[in-house]
Chain A
Amino acid sequence: MSKVQTGLRYSEEHEWLDTTAAPAKIGVSQVAADALGDVVYLDLPEAGSTVTAGETCGEIESTKSVSDLYSPVSGTVAEVNQDAIDNPALVNEDPYGAGWLFTVEVSEEGPLMTAEEYASKNGGEL
Protein backbone atom coordinates (compact mmCIF):
# COMPACT_ATOMS: atom_id res chain seq x y z
CA MET A 1 0.00 0.00 0.00
CA SER A 2 1.34 3.42 -0.94
CA LYS A 3 2.18 5.69 1.97
CA VAL A 4 0.49 9.04 2.48
CA GLN A 5 2.67 11.17 4.74
CA THR A 6 0.81 13.04 7.45
CA GLY A 7 1.53 16.70 8.09
CA LEU A 8 1.52 17.50 4.37
CA ARG A 9 -1.36 18.72 2.26
CA TYR A 10 -2.28 17.26 -1.11
CA SER A 11 -3.73 18.44 -4.40
CA GLU A 12 -6.31 16.70 -6.55
CA GLU A 13 -3.48 16.01 -9.03
CA HIS A 14 -1.37 14.13 -6.43
CA GLU A 15 1.18 16.81 -5.54
CA TRP A 16 2.06 17.34 -1.91
CA LEU A 17 2.78 20.70 -0.32
CA ASP A 18 4.81 21.34 2.81
CA THR A 19 4.25 24.86 4.16
CA THR A 20 6.19 24.20 7.37
CA ALA A 21 9.22 24.87 5.17
CA ALA A 22 9.85 28.39 3.81
CA PRO A 23 9.71 28.60 0.87
CA ALA A 24 7.05 25.86 0.58
CA LYS A 25 8.27 22.51 -0.69
CA ILE A 26 6.46 20.51 -3.39
CA GLY A 27 6.65 16.90 -4.53
CA VAL A 28 4.40 14.11 -5.75
CA SER A 29 2.66 11.56 -3.53
CA GLN A 30 3.80 7.96 -3.30
CA VAL A 31 0.36 6.96 -4.60
CA ALA A 32 1.19 8.82 -7.80
CA ALA A 33 4.81 7.64 -7.94
CA ASP A 34 3.69 4.02 -7.61
CA ALA A 35 1.02 4.44 -10.28
CA LEU A 36 3.50 6.05 -12.67
CA GLY A 37 6.12 3.33 -12.36
CA ASP A 38 9.84 4.02 -12.42
CA VAL A 39 10.44 7.72 -13.06
CA VAL A 40 13.18 8.30 -15.62
CA TYR A 41 12.99 12.01 -16.47
CA LEU A 42 11.83 15.22 -14.80
CA ASP A 43 11.01 18.46 -16.54
CA LEU A 44 10.68 21.01 -13.70
CA PRO A 45 9.98 24.76 -13.72
CA GLU A 46 13.08 26.93 -13.52
CA ALA A 47 14.06 28.90 -10.45
CA GLY A 48 12.70 32.43 -10.75
CA SER A 49 9.79 31.46 -12.97
CA THR A 50 6.21 31.87 -11.81
CA VAL A 51 3.77 29.01 -11.43
CA THR A 52 -0.01 29.11 -11.15
CA ALA A 53 -2.12 26.90 -8.89
CA GLY A 54 -3.86 24.17 -10.87
CA GLU A 55 -1.84 24.74 -14.03
CA THR A 56 0.85 22.53 -15.56
CA CYS A 57 4.40 23.52 -14.74
CA GLY A 58 6.37 20.50 -15.94
CA GLU A 59 6.34 16.83 -16.84
CA ILE A 60 7.17 13.59 -15.15
CA GLU A 61 8.28 10.81 -17.44
CA SER A 62 8.24 7.18 -16.36
CA THR A 63 9.27 4.10 -18.32
CA LYS A 64 5.78 3.74 -19.72
CA SER A 65 4.31 7.22 -19.97
CA VAL A 66 4.49 10.95 -19.50
CA SER A 67 2.32 12.85 -17.03
CA ASP A 68 1.82 16.55 -16.56
CA LEU A 69 3.00 18.09 -13.33
CA TYR A 70 0.60 20.65 -11.87
CA SER A 71 1.50 23.33 -9.39
CA PRO A 72 -0.57 23.17 -6.20
CA VAL A 73 0.16 26.85 -5.51
CA SER A 74 0.77 30.16 -7.27
CA GLY A 75 4.03 31.97 -6.72
CA THR A 76 7.67 32.21 -7.71
CA VAL A 77 9.88 29.12 -7.91
CA ALA A 78 12.74 29.45 -5.45
CA GLU A 79 14.71 26.27 -5.98
CA VAL A 80 14.51 23.04 -7.98
CA ASN A 81 15.88 19.73 -6.75
CA GLN A 82 18.91 19.12 -8.97
CA ASP A 83 19.52 15.75 -7.26
CA ALA A 84 16.11 14.53 -8.44
CA ILE A 85 16.74 15.84 -11.97
CA ASP A 86 20.04 13.95 -12.03
CA ASN A 87 18.54 10.83 -10.43
CA PRO A 88 14.77 10.71 -11.08
CA ALA A 89 14.54 7.35 -9.26
CA LEU A 90 14.52 9.42 -6.04
CA VAL A 91 10.87 10.21 -6.78
CA ASN A 92 10.05 6.50 -6.43
CA GLU A 93 12.46 5.75 -3.61
CA ASP A 94 11.71 8.71 -1.35
CA PRO A 95 8.83 10.80 -2.69
CA TYR A 96 8.36 12.78 0.54
CA GLY A 97 12.08 13.23 1.24
CA ALA A 98 15.00 13.24 -1.18
CA GLY A 99 12.57 13.04 -4.12
CA TRP A 100 11.06 16.52 -3.55
CA LEU A 101 10.74 18.55 -6.76
CA PHE A 102 10.81 22.31 -6.21
CA THR A 103 10.12 25.10 -3.70
CA VAL A 104 7.89 28.13 -4.17
CA GLU A 105 7.45 31.55 -2.53
CA VAL A 106 3.70 31.14 -2.28
CA SER A 107 1.39 34.00 -3.22
CA GLU A 108 -1.80 31.90 -3.28
CA GLU A 109 -2.71 28.29 -2.55
CA GLY A 110 -4.95 26.19 -4.74
CA PRO A 111 -7.54 23.79 -3.27
CA LEU A 112 -5.72 21.29 -1.04
CA MET A 113 -6.68 18.24 1.02
CA THR A 114 -5.42 17.01 4.35
CA ALA A 115 -3.45 13.75 4.32
CA GLU A 116 -6.52 12.00 5.77
CA GLU A 117 -8.81 13.32 3.02
CA TYR A 118 -6.28 12.45 0.31
CA ALA A 119 -5.73 8.93 1.66
CA SER A 120 -9.44 8.14 1.91
CA LYS A 121 -9.93 9.33 -1.67
CA ASN A 122 -6.89 7.67 -3.23
CA GLY A 123 -6.45 4.53 -1.19
CA GLY A 124 -3.13 5.32 0.43
CA GLU A 125 -1.95 4.32 3.88
CA LEU A 126 -1.33 7.01 6.51
Chain B
Amino acid sequence: MTETTTGQNTDEKRTALYDEHAALGASFTDFGGWQMPLKYGSELAEHRAVRESAGLFDLSHMGEVWATGPNAAAFLDYALVGKLSAIAVGKAKYSLICAEDGGIIDDLIVYRVAEQDFLVVPNAGNAATVAAELEARRRAFGAGAEPEGIALRDASAETSLIAVQGPNAEAILLSVAGSEDHEDIRTLKYYAAIEADIAGVPVLLARTGYTGEDGFELFVGNELAAQLWKALETAGEGHGLVPCGLASRDSLRLEAGMPLYGNELSRERSPFAAGLGGVVALKSKEGDFVGRAALAAKKDDGEGTTSGQRLVGLRGLGRRAARSHYAVMKDGKQVGEITSGQPSPTLGYPVALAYVDIAHSAVGTKLDADLRGKAEPFEVIELPFYKRQK
Protein backbone atom coordinates (compact mmCIF):
# COMPACT_ATOMS: atom_id res chain seq x y z
CA MET B 1 0.00 0.00 0.00
CA THR B 2 1.55 3.26 -1.04
CA GLU B 3 -1.27 5.65 -0.43
CA THR B 4 -1.22 7.73 2.74
CA THR B 5 -3.27 10.62 4.01
CA THR B 6 -2.16 14.01 2.78
CA GLY B 7 -0.68 16.55 5.16
CA GLN B 8 -2.35 19.76 6.21
CA ASN B 9 -1.67 22.67 3.92
CA THR B 10 -2.32 25.92 5.72
CA ASP B 11 -2.47 27.88 2.43
CA GLU B 12 -5.68 26.10 1.47
CA LYS B 13 -8.94 27.98 1.65
CA ARG B 14 -11.75 26.93 3.95
CA THR B 15 -15.46 27.43 3.42
CA ALA B 16 -17.72 29.04 6.04
CA LEU B 17 -18.84 25.49 6.88
CA TYR B 18 -15.39 24.07 7.64
CA ASP B 19 -16.07 23.80 11.38
CA GLU B 20 -19.32 21.94 10.71
CA HIS B 21 -17.46 19.40 8.60
CA ALA B 22 -14.71 18.98 11.19
CA ALA B 23 -17.31 18.46 13.93
CA LEU B 24 -18.94 15.76 11.77
CA GLY B 25 -15.60 13.96 11.50
CA ALA B 26 -15.00 14.65 7.80
CA SER B 27 -11.79 13.62 6.10
CA PHE B 28 -10.67 16.57 4.05
CA THR B 29 -9.11 16.80 0.63
CA ASP B 30 -7.77 19.59 -1.53
CA PHE B 31 -10.11 20.59 -4.33
CA GLY B 32 -9.40 23.63 -6.47
CA GLY B 33 -7.30 25.07 -3.65
CA TRP B 34 -10.02 24.47 -1.06
CA GLN B 35 -10.04 22.17 1.94
CA MET B 36 -13.24 20.26 1.26
CA PRO B 37 -14.85 17.24 2.91
CA LEU B 38 -14.02 14.10 0.92
CA LYS B 39 -16.35 11.92 2.98
CA TYR B 40 -17.70 11.76 6.50
CA GLY B 41 -17.78 7.98 6.85
CA SER B 42 -18.30 5.61 3.96
CA GLU B 43 -18.54 7.26 0.53
CA LEU B 44 -20.65 4.33 -0.67
CA ALA B 45 -23.16 4.90 2.12
CA GLU B 46 -23.28 8.61 1.22
CA HIS B 47 -23.82 7.74 -2.43
CA ARG B 48 -26.68 5.37 -1.59
CA ALA B 49 -28.28 7.93 0.73
CA VAL B 50 -28.58 10.39 -2.18
CA ARG B 51 -30.12 7.75 -4.46
CA GLU B 52 -32.52 6.46 -1.80
CA SER B 53 -33.24 9.38 0.55
CA ALA B 54 -31.14 12.57 0.64
CA GLY B 55 -27.66 14.03 0.94
CA LEU B 56 -26.38 17.39 2.17
CA PHE B 57 -23.43 18.94 0.33
CA ASP B 58 -21.22 21.97 0.87
CA LEU B 59 -20.50 23.54 -2.53
CA SER B 60 -19.27 26.87 -1.21
CA HIS B 61 -16.03 26.48 -3.16
CA MET B 62 -17.97 27.15 -6.36
CA GLY B 63 -17.78 30.71 -7.74
CA GLU B 64 -20.56 33.30 -7.93
CA VAL B 65 -20.24 36.23 -10.32
CA TRP B 66 -23.10 38.69 -10.74
CA ALA B 67 -23.60 40.33 -14.12
CA THR B 68 -26.13 43.15 -13.87
CA GLY B 69 -27.45 46.09 -15.83
CA PRO B 70 -29.47 46.82 -18.96
CA ASN B 71 -26.79 45.26 -21.20
CA ALA B 72 -26.06 42.23 -19.00
CA ALA B 73 -28.02 39.82 -21.21
CA ALA B 74 -26.36 41.04 -24.40
CA PHE B 75 -22.97 40.91 -22.70
CA LEU B 76 -23.43 37.28 -21.61
CA ASP B 77 -24.52 36.39 -25.15
CA TYR B 78 -21.12 37.75 -26.25
CA ALA B 79 -19.06 36.26 -23.42
CA LEU B 80 -20.54 32.73 -23.32
CA VAL B 81 -21.49 30.25 -26.05
CA GLY B 82 -25.20 30.03 -25.20
CA LYS B 83 -28.07 32.43 -25.80
CA LEU B 84 -28.41 33.68 -22.25
CA SER B 85 -30.71 36.57 -23.27
CA ALA B 86 -33.31 33.88 -23.96
CA ILE B 87 -33.46 32.74 -20.33
CA ALA B 88 -36.76 33.67 -18.69
CA VAL B 89 -36.61 35.44 -15.34
CA GLY B 90 -36.44 32.80 -12.60
CA LYS B 91 -34.89 30.18 -14.87
CA ALA B 92 -31.37 28.85 -15.26
CA LYS B 93 -29.29 27.54 -18.15
CA TYR B 94 -26.20 25.34 -18.44
CA SER B 95 -23.53 27.03 -20.55
CA LEU B 96 -19.84 27.17 -21.41
CA ILE B 97 -17.22 29.85 -21.57
CA CYS B 98 -14.86 29.11 -24.44
CA ALA B 99 -11.55 30.56 -25.59
CA GLU B 100 -11.14 32.15 -29.04
CA ASP B 101 -9.91 28.79 -30.33
CA GLY B 102 -13.08 27.03 -29.13
CA GLY B 103 -11.42 25.26 -26.18
CA ILE B 104 -13.52 25.08 -23.01
CA ILE B 105 -12.43 27.45 -20.22
CA ASP B 106 -15.22 26.28 -17.92
CA ASP B 107 -18.74 24.94 -17.79
CA LEU B 108 -21.15 26.95 -15.67
CA ILE B 109 -24.75 27.61 -14.77
CA VAL B 110 -26.34 31.01 -15.37
CA TYR B 111 -29.40 32.03 -13.35
CA ARG B 112 -31.56 34.95 -14.46
CA VAL B 113 -32.65 36.22 -11.07
CA ALA B 114 -34.29 39.41 -12.42
CA GLU B 115 -34.67 41.00 -15.85
CA GLN B 116 -31.22 42.62 -15.57
CA ASP B 117 -29.59 40.41 -12.90
CA PHE B 118 -27.70 37.26 -13.84
CA LEU B 119 -25.80 34.97 -11.48
CA VAL B 120 -22.97 33.07 -13.15
CA VAL B 121 -21.72 30.01 -11.25
CA PRO B 122 -18.33 28.64 -12.38
CA ASN B 123 -16.39 25.71 -10.92
CA ALA B 124 -14.18 26.18 -7.85
CA GLY B 125 -10.85 25.74 -9.60
CA ASN B 126 -11.88 28.07 -12.43
CA ALA B 127 -13.75 30.74 -10.45
CA ALA B 128 -10.95 33.33 -10.49
CA THR B 129 -10.13 32.62 -14.15
CA VAL B 130 -13.77 33.00 -15.18
CA ALA B 131 -14.20 36.22 -13.19
CA ALA B 132 -11.07 37.70 -14.82
CA GLU B 133 -12.09 36.47 -18.27
CA LEU B 134 -15.58 37.99 -17.90
CA GLU B 135 -14.03 41.30 -16.88
CA ALA B 136 -11.71 41.26 -19.92
CA ARG B 137 -14.68 40.44 -22.15
CA ARG B 138 -16.73 43.20 -20.54
CA ARG B 139 -14.09 45.68 -21.67
CA ALA B 140 -13.90 44.18 -25.15
CA PHE B 141 -17.71 44.14 -25.36
CA GLY B 142 -17.97 47.79 -24.41
CA ALA B 143 -14.94 48.68 -26.53
CA GLY B 144 -13.59 50.86 -23.77
CA ALA B 145 -12.32 50.91 -20.20
CA GLU B 146 -15.75 51.73 -18.71
CA PRO B 147 -18.46 50.00 -20.72
CA GLU B 148 -21.94 51.21 -19.98
CA GLY B 149 -24.88 49.14 -18.91
CA ILE B 150 -23.03 46.12 -17.55
CA ALA B 151 -21.53 45.68 -14.09
CA LEU B 152 -19.69 42.60 -12.84
CA ARG B 153 -19.31 41.68 -9.20
CA ASP B 154 -17.43 38.60 -8.01
CA ALA B 155 -19.33 37.54 -4.89
CA SER B 156 -17.54 34.19 -4.53
CA ALA B 157 -15.76 35.14 -1.32
CA GLU B 158 -18.94 36.10 0.54
CA THR B 159 -21.35 33.48 -0.83
CA SER B 160 -21.90 29.94 0.41
CA LEU B 161 -23.70 27.22 -1.52
CA ILE B 162 -25.44 24.24 0.07
CA ALA B 163 -27.10 21.42 -1.86
CA VAL B 164 -29.82 19.02 -0.72
CA GLN B 165 -30.07 16.18 -3.23
CA GLY B 166 -32.20 13.06 -3.39
CA PRO B 167 -35.81 11.88 -3.55
CA ASN B 168 -36.55 13.31 -0.08
CA ALA B 169 -35.04 16.73 -0.84
CA GLU B 170 -38.39 18.45 -1.44
CA ALA B 171 -39.93 17.13 1.78
CA ILE B 172 -36.91 18.29 3.76
CA LEU B 173 -37.03 21.78 2.24
CA LEU B 174 -40.77 22.06 2.85
CA SER B 175 -40.33 21.12 6.49
CA VAL B 176 -38.16 24.20 7.11
CA ALA B 177 -39.53 26.65 4.52
CA GLY B 178 -41.76 29.54 5.39
CA SER B 179 -45.39 28.55 4.66
CA GLU B 180 -45.70 31.38 2.12
CA ASP B 181 -43.02 29.61 0.01
CA HIS B 182 -44.49 26.10 0.11
CA GLU B 183 -46.51 26.28 -3.10
CA ASP B 184 -43.61 27.90 -4.98
CA ILE B 185 -41.21 25.19 -3.81
CA ARG B 186 -43.56 22.35 -4.73
CA THR B 187 -44.10 23.73 -8.20
CA LEU B 188 -40.50 24.88 -8.78
CA LYS B 189 -39.32 23.38 -12.06
CA TYR B 190 -35.91 21.81 -12.78
CA TYR B 191 -33.37 24.55 -13.64
CA ALA B 192 -35.47 27.28 -12.03
CA ALA B 193 -34.87 29.41 -8.93
CA ILE B 194 -36.79 31.54 -6.45
CA GLU B 195 -35.96 33.67 -3.47
CA ALA B 196 -37.19 31.87 -0.39
CA ASP B 197 -37.07 31.77 3.39
CA ILE B 198 -35.52 28.50 4.56
CA ALA B 199 -35.40 28.02 8.34
CA GLY B 200 -35.54 31.78 8.75
CA VAL B 201 -32.63 32.31 6.36
CA PRO B 202 -33.12 34.23 3.10
CA VAL B 203 -31.71 32.20 0.21
CA LEU B 204 -31.77 31.92 -3.53
CA LEU B 205 -33.27 28.46 -3.91
CA ALA B 206 -32.58 26.64 -7.18
CA ARG B 207 -33.84 23.27 -8.34
CA THR B 208 -30.51 22.22 -9.79
CA GLY B 209 -27.87 19.66 -8.93
CA TYR B 210 -25.08 17.38 -10.01
CA THR B 211 -26.25 14.00 -8.81
CA GLY B 212 -28.93 12.82 -11.23
CA GLU B 213 -31.55 13.14 -8.49
CA ASP B 214 -34.21 15.70 -7.71
CA GLY B 215 -32.64 18.32 -5.50
CA PHE B 216 -32.00 21.92 -4.56
CA GLU B 217 -29.04 24.26 -4.34
CA LEU B 218 -29.23 27.12 -1.85
CA PHE B 219 -27.15 30.27 -2.23
CA VAL B 220 -26.69 32.04 1.10
CA GLY B 221 -24.45 34.69 2.64
CA ASN B 222 -21.46 33.21 4.51
CA GLU B 223 -22.67 34.64 7.83
CA LEU B 224 -25.83 32.52 7.74
CA ALA B 225 -24.37 29.40 6.10
CA ALA B 226 -23.68 27.42 9.29
CA GLN B 227 -27.15 28.22 10.67
CA LEU B 228 -28.75 27.01 7.44
CA TRP B 229 -26.56 23.89 7.31
CA LYS B 230 -27.52 22.91 10.87
CA ALA B 231 -31.21 23.55 10.22
CA LEU B 232 -31.17 21.35 7.11
CA GLU B 233 -29.25 18.62 8.93
CA THR B 234 -31.82 18.62 11.73
CA ALA B 235 -34.76 18.78 9.33
CA GLY B 236 -33.33 15.84 7.41
CA GLU B 237 -32.98 13.55 10.40
CA GLY B 238 -36.30 11.84 9.85
CA HIS B 239 -35.77 11.73 6.07
CA GLY B 240 -32.55 9.72 5.90
CA LEU B 241 -30.43 12.78 5.06
CA VAL B 242 -26.68 12.39 5.53
CA PRO B 243 -23.86 14.88 4.92
CA CYS B 244 -21.98 13.94 1.74
CA GLY B 245 -18.46 14.70 0.59
CA LEU B 246 -16.73 15.07 -2.74
CA ALA B 247 -16.11 11.33 -3.14
CA SER B 248 -19.82 10.54 -3.38
CA ARG B 249 -20.44 13.70 -5.40
CA ASP B 250 -18.02 12.37 -8.00
CA SER B 251 -19.52 8.87 -8.19
CA LEU B 252 -23.05 10.33 -8.34
CA ARG B 253 -22.28 12.74 -11.17
CA LEU B 254 -20.44 10.03 -13.09
CA GLU B 255 -23.42 7.67 -12.91
CA ALA B 256 -25.56 10.56 -14.15
CA GLY B 257 -23.15 11.02 -17.08
CA MET B 258 -22.35 14.60 -16.14
CA PRO B 259 -18.97 15.99 -17.19
CA LEU B 260 -16.39 17.26 -14.70
CA TYR B 261 -14.11 20.12 -15.61
CA GLY B 262 -10.51 18.91 -15.63
CA ASN B 263 -11.61 15.37 -16.49
CA GLU B 264 -14.05 15.52 -19.41
CA LEU B 265 -13.83 19.23 -20.13
CA SER B 266 -10.65 21.21 -20.76
CA ARG B 267 -9.08 23.84 -22.99
CA GLU B 268 -7.95 20.99 -25.25
CA ARG B 269 -11.51 19.80 -25.92
CA SER B 270 -14.33 21.51 -27.81
CA PRO B 271 -18.01 21.44 -26.88
CA PHE B 272 -18.70 19.25 -29.93
CA ALA B 273 -16.22 16.56 -28.89
CA ALA B 274 -17.68 16.67 -25.38
CA GLY B 275 -21.18 16.06 -26.73
CA LEU B 276 -22.23 19.57 -25.73
CA GLY B 277 -22.76 20.96 -29.21
CA GLY B 278 -26.36 21.73 -28.29
CA VAL B 279 -25.12 24.29 -25.76
CA VAL B 280 -23.43 26.33 -28.53
CA ALA B 281 -25.89 28.80 -30.04
CA LEU B 282 -24.32 29.14 -33.49
CA LYS B 283 -27.70 29.38 -35.20
CA SER B 284 -29.91 31.16 -32.70
CA LYS B 285 -27.46 33.98 -31.83
CA GLU B 286 -27.01 36.60 -34.49
CA GLY B 287 -24.15 38.59 -33.03
CA ASP B 288 -20.52 37.64 -32.53
CA PHE B 289 -19.41 35.79 -29.43
CA VAL B 290 -16.03 34.74 -28.15
CA GLY B 291 -14.97 31.54 -29.92
CA ARG B 292 -17.65 31.74 -32.59
CA ALA B 293 -15.41 31.48 -35.66
CA ALA B 294 -13.43 28.54 -34.27
CA LEU B 295 -16.55 26.74 -33.09
CA ALA B 296 -18.31 27.24 -36.43
CA ALA B 297 -15.28 25.76 -38.20
CA LYS B 298 -15.20 22.75 -35.84
CA LYS B 299 -18.85 22.17 -36.42
CA ASP B 300 -18.35 22.35 -40.21
CA ASP B 301 -15.51 19.82 -39.82
CA GLY B 302 -17.94 17.47 -38.12
CA GLU B 303 -15.93 17.34 -34.91
CA GLY B 304 -17.53 14.90 -32.50
CA THR B 305 -19.92 13.55 -35.15
CA THR B 306 -17.88 12.49 -38.19
CA SER B 307 -14.32 13.48 -37.27
CA GLY B 308 -11.97 13.65 -34.30
CA GLN B 309 -12.90 12.09 -30.98
CA ARG B 310 -16.11 11.98 -29.02
CA LEU B 311 -16.94 11.56 -25.35
CA VAL B 312 -18.70 8.24 -24.79
CA GLY B 313 -19.99 6.18 -21.90
CA LEU B 314 -18.36 2.79 -21.29
CA ARG B 315 -19.72 -0.12 -19.33
CA GLY B 316 -17.21 -2.56 -17.86
CA LEU B 317 -17.96 -6.17 -18.79
CA GLY B 318 -15.61 -7.43 -16.07
CA ARG B 319 -15.35 -6.40 -12.44
CA ARG B 320 -12.44 -4.01 -12.67
CA ALA B 321 -12.80 -0.27 -13.08
CA ALA B 322 -10.90 1.86 -15.57
CA ARG B 323 -9.48 5.11 -14.20
CA SER B 324 -8.73 8.57 -15.57
CA HIS B 325 -5.89 8.60 -18.16
CA TYR B 326 -5.97 4.85 -18.87
CA ALA B 327 -5.68 4.05 -22.57
CA VAL B 328 -8.72 2.79 -24.48
CA MET B 329 -7.74 0.05 -26.94
CA LYS B 330 -9.27 -1.67 -29.97
CA ASP B 331 -7.48 -4.81 -31.14
CA GLY B 332 -4.37 -3.79 -29.20
CA LYS B 333 -4.19 -0.29 -30.70
CA GLN B 334 -4.94 2.85 -28.69
CA VAL B 335 -8.11 4.60 -29.88
CA GLY B 336 -8.86 6.82 -26.90
CA GLU B 337 -8.43 7.70 -23.26
CA ILE B 338 -10.52 7.30 -20.11
CA THR B 339 -11.44 10.61 -18.46
CA SER B 340 -13.35 9.30 -15.40
CA GLY B 341 -13.98 5.77 -14.20
CA GLN B 342 -15.31 4.00 -11.14
CA PRO B 343 -17.29 1.01 -10.05
CA SER B 344 -20.92 2.22 -10.13
CA PRO B 345 -22.41 1.71 -6.66
CA THR B 346 -25.97 1.86 -7.97
CA LEU B 347 -25.58 -0.30 -11.07
CA GLY B 348 -23.06 -2.80 -9.75
CA TYR B 349 -20.66 -2.70 -12.69
CA PRO B 350 -17.78 -0.39 -13.61
CA VAL B 351 -18.62 2.72 -15.63
CA ALA B 352 -16.35 5.20 -17.36
CA LEU B 353 -16.35 8.24 -19.60
CA ALA B 354 -13.75 8.31 -22.36
CA TYR B 355 -12.77 10.19 -25.48
CA VAL B 356 -12.55 7.72 -28.35
CA ASP B 357 -11.98 8.06 -32.09
CA ILE B 358 -15.26 8.57 -33.91
CA ALA B 359 -14.86 5.27 -35.75
CA HIS B 360 -15.16 3.41 -32.44
CA SER B 361 -17.75 5.56 -30.70
CA ALA B 362 -21.01 3.86 -31.70
CA VAL B 363 -23.15 2.34 -28.98
CA GLY B 364 -22.42 -1.38 -28.76
CA THR B 365 -18.75 -1.11 -29.80
CA LYS B 366 -16.53 -3.47 -27.79
CA LEU B 367 -13.34 -1.82 -26.54
CA ASP B 368 -10.66 -2.60 -23.97
CA ALA B 369 -9.29 -0.42 -21.21
CA ASP B 370 -5.60 -0.90 -20.50
CA LEU B 371 -5.59 -1.65 -16.77
CA ARG B 372 -1.93 -1.39 -15.96
CA GLY B 373 -0.94 -3.72 -18.79
CA LYS B 374 -4.02 -5.97 -18.72
CA ALA B 375 -6.84 -5.54 -21.23
CA GLU B 376 -10.21 -5.29 -19.50
CA PRO B 377 -13.32 -5.49 -21.73
CA PHE B 378 -15.71 -2.53 -21.97
CA GLU B 379 -18.63 -1.67 -24.21
CA VAL B 380 -19.87 1.72 -25.44
CA ILE B 381 -23.31 2.38 -23.98
CA GLU B 382 -25.87 5.18 -24.02
CA LEU B 383 -25.48 8.01 -21.49
CA PRO B 384 -26.47 8.59 -18.76
CA PHE B 385 -25.53 5.35 -17.04
CA TYR B 386 -28.15 6.01 -14.38
CA LYS B 387 -31.46 7.79 -14.82
CA ARG B 388 -33.86 8.27 -11.96
CA GLN B 389 -37.44 7.05 -12.20
CA LYS B 390 -39.71 10.11 -12.18
Chain A residues within 8 Å of B, Cβ to Cβ:
13-15, 28, 31-32, 34-38, 40-41, 60-61, 63-70, 92, 122-123
Task: Closest A residue to B47 by CB, please name it.
Answer: A63
**Cβ proximity bits B321-352 to A, threshold 8 Å, 1 near / 0 not:** 10100000000000000000011010000000
A36 to B1, CA, bound (A): 9
Partner of B323, one of A36, A66, A69, A122: A66
Is B27's CB within 8 Å of the partner chain A? yes
Most buried by B among A14, A34, A35, A63: A63
- Nearest Cβ in chain A — how far from B211, in angstroms? 15
Residues of B within 8 A of A66 (CB): 323, 372
Partner of A68, one of B1, B5, B42, B343: B1
Chain B residues within 8 Å of A, Cβ to Cβ:
1-5, 27, 38-39, 42-44, 247, 250-251, 319-321, 323, 342-343, 345, 372
- Nearest Cβ in chain B — how far from A14, in angstroms? 4
Residues of B within 8 A of A70 (CB): 1-2
**Contact yes or no, B43 A61, CB < 8 A:** no
- Nearest Cβ in chain B — how far from A1, in angstroms? 10
Residues of B within 8 A of A38 (CB): 42-44
Partner of B27, one of A32, A34, A40: A34
16 new A-B contacts at CB < 8 Å, known A32-B3, A35-B3, A41-B319 = A28-B1, A31-B5, A34-B27, A35-B5, A36-B3, A37-B42, A37-B43, A37-B247, A41-B320, A41-B343, A60-B1, A63-B342, A65-B3, A66-B372, A67-B2, A68-B1
**Contact yes or no, B247 A35, CB < 8 A:** no
A126 to B29, CA, bound (A): 25
A18 to B345, CA, bound (A): 33
Secondary structure call for the B interface: loop
Residues of A within 8 A of B1 (CB): 13-15, 28, 32, 36, 60, 67-70
Task: Closest B residue to A56 by CB, please name it.
Answer: B2
A71 to B343, CA, bound (A): 26
Partner of A67, one of B3, B39, B251: B3
Task: Closest A residue to B344 by CB, please name it.
Answer: A63
**Contact yes or no, B4 A122, CB < 8 A:** yes
Take A35-B3, A61-B320, A65-B323 as given contacts and tell me if A40 and B343 are in contact as well, using a CB distance cutoff of 8 Å: yes
Residues of B within 8 A of A41 (CB): 319-321, 343
- Nearest Cβ in chain A — how far from B256, in angstroms? 16
**Contact yes or no, A63 B3, CB < 8 A:** no
Take A34-B27, A37-B247 as given contacts and tell me if A63 and B345 are in contact as well, using a CB distance cutoff of 8 Å: yes
**Contact yes or no, A35 B4, CB < 8 A:** yes
**Contact yes or no, A13 B2, CB < 8 A:** yes
Residues of A within 8 A of B42 (CB): 37-38, 92
Task: Closest B residue to A60 by CB, please name it.
Answer: B1
Most buried by B among A14, A31, A38: A38
Residues of A within 8 A of B342 (CB): 63-64
Take A34-B27, A41-B319, A41-B343 as given contacts and tell me if A63 and B5 are in contact as well, using a CB distance cutoff of 8 Å: no
